[in-house]
Amino acid sequence: MVVSVVVRYPLRGKFLNPRDSGVKSEKIASNKCIQDLIKILGLRRHIDYRDEKVFKTLRYGHCMIMADQDNDGSHIKGLVINFLHWYNHTLLKVPGYVRWRLLHLVRSWLLDCARVPFEHARSFGVALRRAFFGW
């Protein structure tokens, strides 16, 4: 029996770049975003995750990074991938473990709103019709 589990964790706060020369390792170790990611994925340092038995010790079969298509989203995606490579580079050598999906954004000119995630565009359109046209 194959069990499929999907867990979403929104990164809140400042995700530090571990390769930044100004950031000390104590600061990285105490960063909440990084600690949460390590705990959620079940990561360990200096372990070769290319070995199938060791790979199965991870809590999930892959890690998907979902980010906006703007510069901030690309920057966050890069920080997470950079951290995974810094923490244990063998994770990136496991085919299909790290995946990403860029979320599509829809711009609304009617209300002059900045951006709305594509997944919410339908409900956003319904709210607009109700607000302006009453239907």
Dump pLDDT digits (tens) for 52-73: 999 999 998 889 888 877 788 8
For residue 67, what are the β-bridge partners? 102
Mean pLDDT, rounded, of the chain:
79
What does DSSP assign to residue 9? -
Q: Where are the domains of the chain?
A: 1-103, 105-135
- At 97-108, the pLDDT tens digits run 998 887 766 555
Q: Which residues pair with 101 in a beta bridge?
A: 66
Quote the pLDDT of residue 1. Answer: 46
**In this structure, which amino acid lies at residue 89?**
H
- Two tokens at 81? 């991938």
73-95 average pLDDT score: 91
pLDDT digits (tens, 9 = 90+) for 31-47: 888 999 999 999 999 89
Options 3.40.50.670, 1.20.120.350, 3.40.50.2300, 3.40.50.300; which CATH number does 1-103 get?
3.40.50.670
Q: Is the pTM of this model over 0.75?
A: no
**pLDDT > 50? residue 85:** yes
Closest C-alpha among 72, 50, 23 to residue 80: 72
SS3 81: helix
